[in-house]
Structures are given as C-alpha cells and as structure tokens.
Structure 1
C-alpha cells in the first residue's frame, strides 16, 4: 500500500510544517501516555487547534463488494480498524462518500457473543429497539485524547493495491465519531496496526509488515508492505540492525510495540541517564515504543533536559531561539553549521541518525534556524516515543513471528 503524509502537497512553508508536527506530536503523546484506548465511556473531546489534523500517514484502499474507497490513518498505537458509515448521524466531514454496508453483497454483522466482539475493550449487545439490530456487537472505541467512535462491528472484503481482495475482515462501522477526527478532512477512519487481535496485521495473519517513510518535506509517497518477504536490502544504504520487540509485563492486552532502549549519545557524550529511565516501572508505565503516528520523538522530562543541555553545550556558539517548545538555534544566513551526532542505543542495535532525521531547518524573515526534532513529553507517565521523523528514509520491518524489529537506512522513494 502507498501512504500519503497528511501535509503532503498542501503548500506549507517549512516553518509551518515544524509548527504542525510539533503540535501533533504533543497531542499524540498525551493520547499514548494515557493508554491509547479506554475501557470505559468518555466525554468526547473538542479540538483546540482547528488548523492542525492529528494524523500522520494515510492509506487508501477499498471495503465491500463492489469496492467502496476508504482512506484511513495508519496507526501502530491502536488495534481497531474503522471507517465512517451511513447513515452517520454524528460524523465528521470527509471528502469520500461514507461507507454504505447496504451496497455491499459481502458484509456481515458480528453478534455480541462472537470472539471478535469479545476482543474489543468496550462492547455491548444491540437491540432492535435501540436501532442496532438484535444481539449485534455495538462497540465504543475511545482514544486517550477523548476522541471516540461508536458503531457496529462488521465483516467485509478489503481490496488492497493490485486488486488483492481479502474476505471476512472485522472492522468498525462508525455511526457516532467525535473528537479531533473532525480536523482531519482527508481521512475516513483509522487502520489499527497494533499488536491486538483486531489489528489489520493480526487479522491478515501476516508474519511481518514493514514501512519506509519518505521525507515529510518532499512529495513522494511512502510504502507499507503487509506480509510480504520484505527485502531490506532493496534500496538499502547501510547494515541491517535488529532489536527485540518486548512485552510490557503489566499489560495483558498489548497494543504498543515496545523496544529496549538503553541510552542516548550526543556527539561523543553518552547522556548520564540510567537504563532504568527508559524501562517499565513496577506498575507498567514508562517503557519505549516505536510509533507511526507521532511525528517527533518524545522524551520524558528528566531525559529530555539532559539531551537539551548536551546540544546547547556543544552548540554554544549559536543563540538559542526556542520555537513551539522545540529547541532551536539561530544560524547566520546561508550557513550550515556542524551539529553533534545523535545515536539511540537499543538492545543489540544502534540507530545512528543522519542529520536530516533529527535536525529541522527553516528560514523566516531573513533568519535561518536549525531545530532539534525531539520534544519534551511532559506528564506523569515516563514513556519514550520514537517518532516517524526519526524513521525517515529508514526501512523498518516488524517481525511479528520472531518478535523482532529490524531497520536499515534506505532510499524510501525506491522501495
């Protein structure tokens, strides 16, 4: 499948792109650090910045027979795949028509006693009187930012690129969808790529999936491959590295993809942070996840401040010009100063980030700036989030069968 970045082709300046990615990253971090999904009803949120959609990459495919197009946000931090459906009494505007199950000859409805319905964090039995149909599976799927979708759990045929049709996949037919979805005009729902039973990779029973994100400042589409024998050497520019995907011992229904991060080096200086700062706490909070839906990497306050101090110390000749809570430095016009190298040390692997994967540059009012594309994820939960900006031009393979993550620098426009 090809992926389109939410800001692609919309004419934003580099300064505007930085602002939008920073806002999305902080909002996404708040969602993930609150658990990603809720198991109890919530009050739908109201968006506070109507100019910025809370989405990163969108995939377009089709549902039903004959196929009806959908465009879904690819989300490795949630499991349920859903799209808006007619009659849609409480829905956000979208460019594509709402999915209409009555026009599909292959759709089915799950009962509330089905195993698929039991896999949902919150579901109930529909009734004829309530307008749902008797004993149907009514779901409510909530996100940490208090966005919520409610509807029927259906099954239907999904048709992917190359006319590859897969029947009987479970998905949410959303009739009541509220929250920050209404600022993402080019989406119709969400494609869950998490580790749960209802996620798209789990339902397709694939041993792996991979993606390769092209630079957000360009126009080339990105790629996600499901269950294919991903050739990481295709377009590769370095050695393949592999690190384990680990489990949160306190989470009996895992969704997130956790990694074992051991430390961070800035220049030649290893940050004075113990490995325990990146690990799970006794109650299961903290840990390090890799996420497709967060733009910039987010670090807990105590780690971020060490990182910030290291960059300020090693770039002491440049004035600090913070921008949207992102650390920035003023640069003489036309100059491209050397910056300290940045490396993330995982169990069995080191991610040496190229400059363009952690430094964002822009000019405004005749002033040049370089900014660190990493933010302080404030809050009580000490979760570290590896964002997609740090994964640009990196072929990333999720080995679900082997519980491993592999990555290699690549030309993602050639994958």
Structure 2
C-alpha cells in the first residue's frame, strides 16, 4: 500500500439527471490492506457492466475495450463497442477531444477523423485508445430503478498498462475537469461513503442528489483552487495533533504555493495519507514517544512503515489519537483509520501507522476516509464530512 500510494502521489504531481452507483472496496492481498474503491455501472445498449476505480484525482473516464491487444487481465468481459447500438466515436474537433492533455487524429470514420488519446501517469501507468461516447446506466437517483444518460464521453482503452487489478476495468474520473463524470453529468455535488477497506460490503456514490449528512457533527471546509492543477480537490490543512500534542509543523508545510506546488489534496484513489518528509518525521517521533507499545524495528524496516509489537487485541490508549485540522473543521480519526493490524507466520502481532512520507504534496488517502460520508459541493466550493456507518446509508 505504501509503494502504491507513493506511485499515486507521482500521478497527482503530474444539468443532467441525478444518479447513484454502487461502490465497494476491491479485493486486496498481502499483509497490508490495499485497495481502490470500485464504481459499478454499465455502458452501452444493451448494457455492458464495468467496474471503475472511483478517482477524485483524475478526470478521464475510461474502460478497456475489445479488441484489446495490450491490456491488463480483468474478471469482466472487455467492453465491446460493436455490440452497443448507441456507441459513437468522437471526432478530433469535438470539445471533449480538446479537453485532453494529449490527443491526435485516428483513422477516417464517416468523414471525421476520430479522437485518439494517450493518458499517461508519472508512475508509468498508461491508457491509450479512442475517445468515444455512449449511454451510461446508473441506479436512479430516486431509487425507482435505473437511470440512463446518453452521450457521455469516455476512453475506449486498447493499450493499457500499469498498477491495475483484475477487479477493475478502468477508471472513473471524479475530478474538477470537463471530462470527469460529475462534470459531464452537470451535477452540483456528489458524495461517497467508503465502507471498511478490509471488508466487502458495498455503499453508494450519489451524483447530483441532496446528500443528507447525519450521524454526528457535520463539518465543512473550503475547497482551494489550484490554477496550475485544475483536476484535484485541494484543502487548507492547518495542522496535526497526535495524542494531546499539536505538532510544531508550520502551516506553510501544507500550504499551496503561488507556483502551484505543495498544498493538500483529498484523493479517493490513493491508499494511505502521505505527508512532506519533515511533517511525517515529527508525526512518527510523536507516535514513538506516546505509544505504550515497543517499536518493532524489523517489521518497520520490512514494510517501510512505523510498526509496533502489539497484543492480539487493541487496548485503549496503547497508541495516541490522531486529528487533522483543516480551515473551519477538524477530522478526528478513529484508530482503524490510521492503524492497521496483522500477524506474521510466527504468531507475532503488530500494529502499524497507515501514513507515510512523501514529497511536498500532502495527500489525504482513502484509508483515512473509511466510514466517513464526504460531500463535494461543487457550487459552494466546500467539502463536508461526518462519521457514518457507510454500509447502512
């Protein structure tokens, strides 16, 4: 999870009807729980199911398509364009093609040259294919069945490689750009509530629906616009508390700079939160000083995480509390949102801090968003959140 989160950080450095869709944590393997959250919807007429990573850190919506000469393995069939009566290729001069960072003209198609895209990431993940349009089918916003929205642009990827799992068929961009799903649906808001990352229970992502946040004290913080990066959702992180100690980290460590570097983003596609190295080291040292558990140096070195030897059952107070302070809001994290437990083959029991050191960009990952109902108000330019049992919403 640490390796994938750091790779993800490299990526980030580089009037429709309301609808909803099922979201569940993808499968994970290994000691450290590591997953993306998958949106279940369908494309085409008749519908063909897809499972797309819900990604607030990118814009393009894409899935793997037949023929797929260079694709990663997936459990669902590849999307088959000829089997959809509503499928259509988008020409090079379409506005959506212009919104791509890199595109060119493909083969002649009924007098219009089709839009070919390459969407690459700094972690070497890449998708290449044609930008097309088709009908997307969601669960209806009023729970009356299904809602079909025609003419949504998406990437039909035929050359795809990188950090992907067999459960996903592509990515659903939920970013701020014109190609993202919320932007194309022209909704005023969207919300998600991620269930426990180590489980399999589903939840719902709501697009354009009044999202009633309840179950506790709702808190709100402004979204910060970074004009050098029009995709990600930036927040104003002011500080961090470990136990009862506010760490002596200057606010400038988390602040967006005038040149567009630095800052703090909230990202559904990143696993663990990452902090600038200086801030992480202060957090790590504070955990070591306040935890009532011994540091396990061998495990810490093996996993590149701060790990403690721990009893089989967590005891109150054996690790300090963790809180993130934003402008106008404080996120008090429950233990299960910043520590993960595991046992090794020899019967040893450990608990590790699910935060790692990164570059100057701070990323709030999905591990810290478990059982947190998060509402993105795209008109009011605010982010609201409240603790919730996401499998019960």
Counterparts of 1:400 and 1:392, CA distance in 2: 22
Report the CA distance shift for 1:81/1:332 in structure 2 as closer, same or farther (over 3 A). closer
Say if 1:126 and 1:133, in contact at 8 Å, map to a contact too: no
Runs of 4+ aligned structure 1 residues displaced above 3 Å come to 50-55, 131-134, 332-335
Query: Is 1:198 matched up with 2:176?
Result: no
Unaligned runs of 5+ in 2: 15-28, 140-144
Instruction: Describe the shift of the 1:334–1:160 C-alpha distance in structure 2 as closer, same or farther (beyond 3 A).
Output: closer
Partners of 2:84 and 2:10 lie apart in 1 by 38
Q: What's 1:228 paired with?
A: 209
Equivalent residues in 2 for 1:52-131, closer than 5 Å: 56-128=36-108
Would the alpha carbon gap of residues 55 and 115 (structure 1) be closer, same or farther in structure 2, given more than 3 Å must change?
Answer: farther
2:257 aligned with 1:281: yes
Task: Using the TM superposition, name which of 90-99 and 259-268 deviates more.
Answer: 90-99
CA RMSD, Structure 1 to Structure 2 (Å): 2.1
Query: What is the total number of aligned residue pairs between the two structures?
Result: 368
For 1:70 and 1:248, locate their aligned partners in 2 and report how far apart those are by CA, in whole Å.
32
- Quote the Cα distance in structure 2 between the aligned partners of 1:217 and 1:284: 35
Aligned to 1:392: 370
- Give how far 1:27 is off: 2.4
TM-score, with normalisation over the residues of structure 2?
0.89
With over 3 angstroms needed to count, the CA separation of the structure-2 counterparts of 1:271 and 1:133, relative to structure 1, is farther
Report the alpha carbon displacement of residue 178 of structure 1 after superposing the two structures with TM: 2.3
Using the TM superposition, give the Cα deviation of residue 80 of structure 1 relative to its aligned residue in structure 2, in angstroms: 0.5
Cα offset, 1:30, TM superposition:
2.7
In 1, the alpha carbon distance for the partners of 2:293 and 2:390 equals 35
Alignment of 1:303 with 2:279, yes or no, is yes
Cα displacement (A) at 1:324: 0.8
Which position in structure 2 is the counterpart of 1:136?
A: 114
The answer (yes or no) to whether the contact 1:72–1:190 under 8 Å persists in 2 is yes
Match of 2:23 in 1: none
TM-score, normalised via structure 1 length: 0.84
- Of 191, 194, 199, the residue aligned with 1:213 is 194
1:336–1:86 distance in 2 versus 1, CA, 3 Å: same
Q: Deviations over 1:117-165 (max 9, x none)?
A: 101111112233xx99841111111122122111111111001123210
Q: Which has the higher strand share?
A: 2
C-alpha distance in 2, partners of 1:306/1:94? 41
Determine the structure 1 residue equivalent to 2:7. Answer: 27
CA contact (8 A) 2:293 2:308 kept: no
Distance in 2, matches of 1:74 and 1:29, equals: 16
Distance 1:341 1:133 in 2: 63
SS at match of 2:303: coil
The answer on whether the counterparts of 2:35 and 2:271 sit within 8 Å (CA) in structure 1 is no
**Alignment check: 8 A CA contact 2:116 2:131 kept:** yes
Structure 2 distance, partners of 1:152, 1:117, is 10
2:381 alignment counterpart: 403
The answer on 1:325 being equivalent to 2:325 is no
Supply the distance in 2 between the matched residues of 1:163 and 1:22 (Cα, whole angstroms): 38
CA deviation map 1:180-228 (0-9, x unaligned): 33xx112211111111000001000111111111111223113211111
Distance change >3 Å, CA 331–CA 141, structure 1 → 2: same
Offset of 1:354 from its aligned partner?
1.3
Structure 1 gaps of 5+ residues are 1-20, 36-49
What secondary structure sits across from 1:126 in the alignment? strand
Task: Tell me the distance in 2 between the aligned counterparts of 1:340 and 1:279.
Answer: 25
1:208 and 1:397 in contact (8 A); partners too: yes
Q: Quick one: distance in 1 between partners of 2:310 and 2:64?
A: 47
Return the alpha-carbon distance in structure 2 between the equivalents of residues 226 and 112 of structure 1: 29
Deviation at 1:25, TM superposition (A): 1.9
Deviations 1:2-60 (A, max 9, x none): xxxxxxxxxxxxxxxxxxx3332222223223x1xxxxxxxxxxxxxx98998511112
Query: Which among 159, 163, 170 is matched to residue 176 of structure 1?
Result: 159
